[in-house]
Amino acid sequence: MTGLEIRPLRPDDPAVIAAAMAALGWDKPESQYQRYLAEQAAGTRDVLVATVDGAYVGYVTVCWTSPYFGTIPEISDFNVLPSYRRRGIGSALMDAAEATAAERSPVVGIGVGLYPDYGQAQRMYVRRGYLPDGRGLIYDGRQVPPMETIRNDDSACLMFTKQLR
């Protein structure tokens, strides 16, 4: 896409991103992005921001120590504004996140929600070569045992890994 730039999170980004999320009705406060900025400065998370002609359109993060995967980096919190989807921005962000992870690890992990809002992401991850890790349903970071009932919300997911090199 013409005018697309992928760059690290900057100090002036948290307010812009939080406002864009609020306009969509998503609960992603500015404090979350301020925390991401601090984690980026500390070296525990990289945050990649996509802009088109200087305007914010999406982001993704790479956590270097995953609560789920341990020492395998985890791509998490991947968002592209709905009006900019299906234009290659998500693929560009994923390319950049995978390249970033590959600098330190031959494998990367990712989780995806189970309800229809995550349908595009589910399909994208499979097309990109991600495979389920085989542990089944995960809720709030823990494996759900057979026959246990859970709520199908953002905490319910399947975890995937991909060989990068």
- What DSSP line would sit under 95-152, residue for residue? HHHHHHHHTT-SEEEEEEESSGGGHHHHHHHHHTT-EE-SS--EETTEEPPTT-----
pLDDT confidence of residue 133: 95
Token pair of 122, please?
């589910």
155 pLDDT more than 90: yes
Residues in the chain: 165
At residue 73, what is the residue type?
P
pLDDT at 106 exceeding the cut of 90: yes
Please state the pTM of the whole predicted model.
0.92
Picking from 35, 20, 101, 13, the residue whose alpha carbon sits closest to that of residue 63 is: 101
Share of the chain above pLDDT 70, in %: 99
pLDDT-above-90 percentage for the chain: 89
The band of 1, judged by pLDDT with boundaries at 50, 70 and 90, is: low
pLDDT for 53-84, tens place per residue? 999 999 999 999 998 999 999 999 999 998 89
